[in-house]
Structure 1
């Protein structure tokens, strides 16, 4: 794996903002040729710095007006419980991200729902009845003040 130079870091920063930016636009922004940009991008992908170019969707346009974080405490600390939660996460489309945690909660889920009624249904009818879940604590997002897709890069 090669060390990242300043052009690599600028390219990665720009791609984090818009992964579909054309090589020509990137070349103009970085003062390089489009072919140089393409070769750098291919190298960064091959070396694992770039792991995909997802398409971000607008939740408002999709009528997903409620975003929430749900902390989950499990009933038991076992591999079976962990596998059960992983299955729940993978089969529940409202759960868009999930993490295991240290501290009081065992997991935190990021969810999107159409409205409060849908969020209530998710909590009351899907999460709380689940055999592996002991307690949930939800927090509704009022406003997102910073985009969460870009990683910090060295200067």
Structure 2
């Protein structure tokens, strides 16, 4: 009878000890798995950050190329307009003068559209805001203040992004 009482006490203790051992091993494995998951997650975050930087860099290059191309197109249109005013054969032909004038307006609109798109990317955070401001601050300020584009930035303007970026930067300038 005494032996049964001892067995009745020892068996639950042994079972408890075995359960604690298994629980400790399971806890250690879970902890190890958690650490590994955290390590992998950190690597993924680092890779995602690197991919974001690369994507932003590519976007910045695309913006610069778009602006450069729009500038070349505008410069060519201005040159053609000036040449049409000087060339007597073209100046005598109202259809050609109108065509050259239309090309200039199209070039100006394309030029503003490129800056509008660049400013949208800035607003959406698709490019590095600090670098964008350093690169395009003067250009955007000059466009908004340019008498040739004054009508494009009135109350009915469709160039909301350019105006928003200009206002953001101008308000910071006053602080």
Q: TM-score range by the shorter chain?
A: under 0.3
TM-score (norm 2): 0.20
Flag the structure with more relative contact order, 1 or 2, with Cα contacts below 8 A and sequence separation at least 6: 1
TM-score (norm 1): 0.22
More strand by share: 1
More helix by share: 2
- Higher Rg of the two aligned structures: 2
